[in-house]
Amino acid sequence: MHILIQLLQSLCWPFRATCRVLKSRRFRKGALIFIVVALLVFTPRSTRVLSPAHAAARGYEYGLVGWEVSNFLDKWVHRVGEFIPGVGTSDEEKREHIDRYLALNAEIKTAKRNIDSKASLSDSAGNQLASLQDRLDELENERAGLRNDVEELMESAIDAVLRDLGIGDLGPLTWPPVDFRLDSTPRVLVTSPRDSVKRLESILIDPDITLAERQIVEDAIYDTSGLSSIVLGTGGVATFPTVIPKDRDLLSTLDVAAHEWLHAYLIFKPLGRAYWNSGDLTTINETVANLFGEEVGRLAYERITGETLPPPDPFIPESDPDSGEFSFREFMRETRLKVDEILADGNVYEAEAYMEQRRIELHDHDIFIRKINQAYFAFNGSYGDNPASVSPIGEQVQELRTYVDNVADLVKVIHGTTSYEGFLQRLDEERSAFEERISD
């Protein structure tokens, strides 16, 4: 009975803490956004006018609601089991599970390459292919069995880093909770006008869509609306729990998990709620999340492994035009600037021919990109540190980071921002304050 009472008390404190959160004004503001999104998701399609992108994507959409329900419940059932004596897994065992999980990632990649190689060599290798597929299934089943423990140890490490940095603290609770699922991340269908580079829509797509199906969707959008479109992969999605790639190394996984947590955190702040207000605000959100993910991910990695990592490379590396080495960043930046110039003159077909020519040129450097078009640049240009971006925001965020003590302070400095002008004002204020400090 004593154990049962302890168990119930352990299970109740998160709900008591959550109730306090639910009463707060800042939660209600953020919750309103989730309610609006839910209403849009559950509204029958027959009552909504489908855009050309939504119409083309029908049948390929990512099943977000079903994914949320099944994974949210599965994770909480596992967490309840952690409180039952003899059922839970110790931290030491979880660390062993992480090592095995990462080893399985490598084995699974090798197994998939073996299947692809065997399938391409002969049409009469049916028995061997079946055996290889059985082995792949075994590896993937073993990895899935380790997933809950691996997620919980990573979540705990990130949560501890956030609390050390003083961000997301809400009494005994980190808000929003660090909660993610290692899984296949959805793809995203992006559209843009053809006469400019501008993101119009972003629609989550089933990760298992085939290459041929991606082309069918993109062709349908072009035929019905004349828009540029592309189906791209995603590094993670800020659902709840967030979706994180299941096949990356430890540092990259922690980086993405922290990145997506910040998006969830910012939805309760003016900056996050203004994400779609302009392209500049989208870029600020994504660039800050990239920097935050990189720094928090490294701290969580060191916490799990006990290993001290060398200082990170610059967020946006400086180019050296005299080095003589090929720079993908400079190549793509040059391409984007030229595309903008050609489109500004009204030459759409010329710009598209130029992008295709540049895509083929990348083959000489063993870089293979399926398609480069206006939608490609519209999506990748949202990240200030991405080679496809021509925005100064990446450098400005990097500068602002040098004026504060840690990456959490960076977020706190600008989370109230609702415009690019407001961001620049905060940058000027921090620059002036920094100059005053060093002059004293």
For residue 420, give every residue at least 6 positions away whose Cβ sits within 8 Å of its Cβ, in sequence order, or none. Answer: 278, 280, 281, 284, 393
**Element (H or E) spanning 401, and its range?**
helix 393-401
CA–CA distance, 278 with 271 (Å, rounded to integer): 11
Residue 386 lies in a domain: yes
CA–CA distance, 122 with 182 (Å, rounded to integer): 34
Residue 9 lies in a domain: no
CA–CA distance, 274 with 266 (Å, rounded to integer): 10
What are residue 244's phi and psi, to 5 degrees?
Answer: -120, 140
Show the DSSP H helices in 178-238 as ranges: 211-225
Q: Please check whether residue 171 is in contact with residue 13, taking contact to mean a CB–CB distance below 8 angstroms.
A: no
**Structural domain harbouring 208:** 181-439
Q: Please check whether residue 213 is in contact with residue 61, taking contact to mean a CB–CB distance below 8 angstroms.
A: no
State the residue for tokens 């060398």.
310
pLDDT at 224 (0 to 100) = 96
Residue 92 lies in a domain: no
Token reading at 326: 């090929």
State the residue for tokens 């979540």.
155
Token reading at 351: 């710009």
* C-alpha dihedral, 384 to 390 to 393 to 394, nearest 10°: 40
Token reading at 285: 């959100």
Into how many domains does the chain fold?
1
**Residue among 212, 221, 183, 184 at smallest CA distance from 58:** 221
Tell me the CA distances in angstroms from 121 to 110, 114, 116, 134, 420, one per residue in order: 17, 11, 9, 19, 55
What are residue 182's phi and psi, to 5 degrees?
Answer: -80, 115
**Element (H or E) spanning 385, and its range?**
none
Q: Is 81 helix (H, G, I), strand (E, B) or coil?
A: helix
What are residue 174's phi and psi, to 5 degrees?
Answer: -90, 125
CA distance between the termini of the chain: 64
Residue 321 CA, distance from chain mean position: 31
Residue 54 lies in a domain: no
CA–CA distance, 192 with 107 (Å, rounded to integer): 39
Residue 356 lies in a domain: yes
Q: Please check whether residue 380 is in contact with residue 371, taking contact to mean a CB–CB distance below 8 angstroms.
A: no
Residue 124 lies in a domain: no
Other C-beta atoms closer than 10 Å to the C-beta of 62 total 23
Residues of the chain with pLDDT under 50: 1-47
Polymer length in residues for the chain: 440
Residue 197 lies in a domain: yes
Residue 60 lies in a domain: no
Sign of the torsion angle spanned by Cα atoms 323, 329, 332, 337: negative
pLDDT at 34 (0 to 100) = 46
Token reading at 7: 């168990």
